[in-house]
Chains A and B, each alone.
Chain A
Amino acid sequence: MDRRTRALYVERAVWPIGRGDRKFWISVMVLGALVAAGVYAWIYQVQHGLWVTGLNQKVSWGFYIINCVFFIGMSYGGAMTSAILRLTGAKWRAPLTRIAEATAVAALLVGAVYPIVDLGRPDRFLYILRYGQVGSPVVWDLVAVTSYAIASFVFLYLPLIPDLPVAKAALGARAGLLGRIYDALSLGWKGRPDQERALARGIGIMAVLIIPLAVSVHSVLAWLFAVTSRAEWHSTIFAPYFVLAAMFSGVAAVIIVVAALRKVYGLGEFIVAKHFRYLSYLLIALGAGYLYFMISEFLTDGYVFESGTTSGLQSLFIGQYAPEFWSFSVGGLLVPLVLAALPGRFPVARATVASVLVVAGMWLKRFLIVVPGMANPIMPWEWGQYQPTWVEITILVGSAAAIPLMLIVFFRFFPVMSVHELDEVEGRYEVSSRHRIPAYAPVYGAGDAGGGDD
């Protein structure tokens, strides 16, 4: 690799930084308007009470719980593509990690807001801290999600440290106050070997830690359902089932975001078909695992015809939830798996389409877990109905818009690819090479002109 390549990927990585062109502002405004609409819907709901939603005495959990599980699940892409690929030393991860980690934080922030949106008395949210009962799954949830959120932030921040001087250099003379913030956050990063060692150790700990933390979050979310005595939920397989679902949808979410940002920021030269193929393999493996779990669940339930589970299974396979169930099973699981597994042309487009189907399908699957579980009669003959209102739909749209909004704002300040990691995998930069002088500043005249000279 020569300097020219390095200049190229540095240039691309910092390209969005400080770039306030019209496209950027239009996107911010459109997404911001959607988010504002969602916030308005929530305020409207707080004022009028939850009756403005489709929730009722029978189906008392709906969109909000679905979305909470869905968005937190999406954030698993960060843990998967970044941490696991880091730990296994997969070099191809380098251009993807930053996007994956940022997506994780953005999706997690959105997902973590949902339990509050769902509360009847959001003003009393802090009562959970004041009167917290260790026996309640809601408290487990709070502890697990908080830990995971903090860990995700740290996991985003640590690999960012060496890139902050790069970001500052990209702004050049415009840095100003922002430059001082970069300086403070980068902690005087010079790329010295001992700094590298400290960073590698920190990232290593977080990469190991983020995986059990991610697993704990979705296990706890699953137990929110599984510890009840409702036949559809009271299942021992639920925790791993949820974790796998989250990883599956998380990898799909990363593929979508990577594909989108690749187009928007022109990263096509670094994020290539190979990346999408590898990510597709990951998606296929997880999807196949999910299919296996599903078969295991339905087979054990459906073989016995226990009185409690039969009506639930009937409603899924041939009853009122059959359209959703079969669209998910075929359109959200089988078709994407085949699409991603096929050899041949258009790997990027196929992976992206498959991922969109998977994400939509996994939302449907969460719907199929929450709503029929609530609607199926626990008292004789009493079926529940659930029809979301504009409030729930607006909040869903607004929260979904918040993720790209957060991402484009984030990448306006921070490099979209991890320059430091690209250096590492390009063999540019060896931790052991004590006497190598890190040549950041001279090389990165990036944001403004082409590569400089030593």
Chain B
Amino acid sequence: MVIDLRRCDGCKKCTEACQTEHDLPKTFEWIKVFQLQDKSGETYYMPRPCMHCENAPCLRVCPVAATFRTDEGVILVDQERCIGCRMCMAACPYGARYFNFGDPPAAPNPFQKPTPEFPVPQIKGTVGKCMLCVHNTDHGELPACVKACGMQALWIGDLTADVATNGSDTVRLSSLIKDNDAFRYKEELGTSPRVYYIAGHGQDLDN
């Protein structure tokens, strides 16, 4: 994923779309929009989905391998296995994980059984997070947040095919990253996130 901070206007449509897509309560912001200020005091916004790190800390600390990586590199959670120890929440440097402290809202489809690829409804006592809408992408559909973004600030890409799209434009992913000096958040932690940010307007996520 590439997130263009120059375009994000903080409308939080991505968060809403995500919550609708996965039947999440309002406190579950799997993609969360942070309001920040750059050095000149101007406001900008930073959406934070799960970074789907290549060297994912959450994956290593899970005692029961409930968190796993798909062949495409998406980090998923098997809520049928998660024991709810919340070690992954302590380990995640991005705060991308959300624990179901209480009962999740009932799913509209009573026969829906949650799977790692479509964890709806969430299971009480387990951890959930952004799963890059693999239930959509597996079927050639864009993730809910990318579809919902009116500013086309969210790009979804494929590192092997080297292509990225924000729904209307399609470009080479490597060029998008390189030409715009995209960077990864907290890169110094060695997590190798798969989410890139394009700053470009003096935004500095490390302030």
Contacts and interface: CB of A to CB of B under 8 A. Distances in A.
**Are the chains A and B members of one assembly?**
yes
Contact of B82 (A48, A120, A135): A120
Contacts of A133: 62-65
Interface stretch (B8-16, B93-101, B133-141, B142-150): B93-101
A63 to B, nearest CB: 13
A134 B70 CA distance: 20
A380 B83 CA distance: 29
Contacts of A48: 102
Contact of A228 (B62, B91, B206): B91
A55 B57 contact: no
B87 A50 contact: no
Interface stretch (A136-144, A173-181, A357-365): A136-144
A121 B125 contact: yes
Main secondary structure of the interface of B (DSSP, over half): loop
B195 to A, nearest CB: 13
B36 A380 contact: yes
A60 B58 CA distance: 14
B97 to A, nearest CB: 8
Residue among A51, A118, A130 with the highest chain B CB neighbour number at 10 A:
A51
Interface in B1-41: 27, 32, 34, 36
B114 to A, nearest CB: 14
A225 interface: yes
Given A48-B102, A380-B34, A229 B64 contact: no
A130 B83 CA distance: 12
A378 interface: yes
B103 interface: yes
Contacts of A130: 64
Given A119-B83, A378-B93, A127 B101 contact: no
A230 interface: yes
Contacts of A228: 57, 61, 90-91, 93
B59 to A, nearest CB: 9
B95 A51 contact: no
B68 to A, nearest CB: 10
Given A57-B27, A127-B64, A130-B64, 5 more contacts: A55-B99, A57-B95, A136-B63, A136-B64, A227-B61
Interface of A: 48-51, 53, 55-58, 60-61, 115, 118-121, 124-125, 127-128, 130-133, 135-139, 142, 224-225, 227-230, 307, 374, 378-382
Interface of B: 27, 32, 34, 36, 46, 48, 57, 60-66, 81-87, 89-91, 93-95, 98-103, 124-127, 186, 189, 191, 205-207
